[in-house]
Amino acid sequence: MQDNSATKSNHRHVAELCKKARFFLKEKKFNSAIEFFQKALEHEENNVYALTGLGDVERTRQNFKEAVDYYQRVIDVENNNLFALRGLGDSLRGAREYQPAIHAWEKYLAQRPDDVHVLTRIADAYKQLENFDISEKIYIRSIALNPRDVYSIMGLADLYHKTHRADEAILYYDKVLEISGNYVHVLTMVGNLYREKKEFEKARSYYERTLELDENNAYALFGLGNIYRWERDYQKAIQVWEKILLHQEGTDTMLARLADAYQNVGRIEDAEKTYSDILKQGYHRDALIGQTKLLISQGKDSEALDGYRKHLKNNEQDGQVIDEFGLFLSNLGCTDPLRSSFLKTKELFGENSIAGLAITAFLNQMDNAH
């Protein structure tokens, strides 16, 4: 009787230690939580509550390897412990070990097959593994169980987005908006999808909805500027892109398009400076090509030729620029200084390179003409 009483007293003490540890974990006082869980293990070395708690601490701190070890100790004691299986899967996912994570979650689902949250985690993991067919089926199953689960719907929308199924992606992103209101990042993604589909009025409406919520949202401003650029309304494109620069530096791609817009409205100094600022950071295709075209328009043929050289050195197989380069050569005519420059360009890329062959054909054509 005394032994039984002592055992019960020990269990109560361990339970109290775990309760205090859980309180500290909830308060994110991790060292205190670890201290009390460890004290519990001093009394019961295989106590599943303490081991699971330590796994939860390490998972929360993103120490995923240590978390996996604690959860695995629980599973060694209780093979089907739900909390440990779920935590194990989450920790393996954190360590980007997606297939073992799926295995742990599937053992969990064997006991709770309709847990939407875990189904979504499995679908996410299959998506990371690019097994899109299985991922899609699991998302659809999860949504059938809970048609208003935002995480499953968002996950499926993202899958369709990644696999270039724009219409399906838009359909499910819109479901997220219906359930959860105006998520700014979802609005901009739908706007971008419509813009890629060249449905510009629909794209504009999503960007404008975004800007009603966040007037300085760079993604919406960038997308809206691209619509104006496509419509050749360069002044409006400049207006919205310059608004981005009031709050951040802007991406090189945006700045290159802004420079192009400056050039189209005659703000040549602004275009020159913007191209130059981008290229100081290193090679950038659109900026270098834009700058080269600006030099051509200014009659600076030697500098333009140098621009094409720099581009082709970085991307010799750019068919669009090869065509532009050929047209540029044809428009220049053939003089002795230019012949020397062309030969140097051919030497730079090689006799049998695309650029080299284009120059050889051009020089032969000019020689035959004379």
pLDDT at 267 over 90: yes
CA angle at 29 for the pair 25 and 34, rounded to the nearest 5°: 65
pLDDT at 1 over 50: no
pLDDT tens, residue by residue, 31-81? 999 999 999 999 999 999 999 999 999 999 999 999 999 999 999 999 999
Q: Name the phi and psi angles at 281, rounded to 5.
A: -85, -10
**pTM score:** 0.81
Q: What is the structure's pLDDT at 336?
A: 56
Contact 47, 41 (CB under 8 A): yes
Q: What is the structure's pLDDT at 305?
A: 82
Q: What is the mean pLDDT of the chain?
A: 90
Contact partners, residue 308, CB within 8 Å, separation at least 6: 292, 321, 324, 325, 328, 345
Average pLDDT over residues 91-113: 97
Contact partners, residue 93, CB within 8 Å, separation at least 6: 101, 121, 124, 125
Q: How many percent of the chain have pLDDT more than 70?
A: 87
CA dihedral 196, 199, 202, 206 (to 10 degrees): 10
Average pLDDT over residues 165-172: 98
Contact 303, 336 (CB under 8 A): no
pLDDT at 198 over 60: yes
- Nearest by Cα to 261 from 292, 298, 232, 286: 232
pLDDT tens, residue by residue, 220-260? 999 999 999 999 999 999 999 999 999 998 899 999 999 99
Start-end ranges of CATH 1.25.40.10 in the chain? 10-113
Q: What is the structure's pLDDT at 2?
A: 46
pLDDT at 344 over 70: no
Average pLDDT over residues 339-364: 66
Q: What is the CATH number of domain 10-113?
A: 1.25.40.10
Q: What is the structure's pLDDT at 7?
A: 73
Taking the CA atoms of the chain, what radius of gyration do you get in angstroms?
31
137: number of Cβ within 10 Å: 12
Alpha helices, H only, 129-233: 132-145, 150-162, 166-180, 184-196, 200-213, 218-230
Contact partners, residue 248, CB within 8 Å, separation at least 6: 218
More confident of the two residues 322 and 237: 237
- Nearest by Cα to 259 from 289, 218, 216, 281: 289
pLDDT at 334 over 70: no
30: number of Cβ within 10 Å: 15
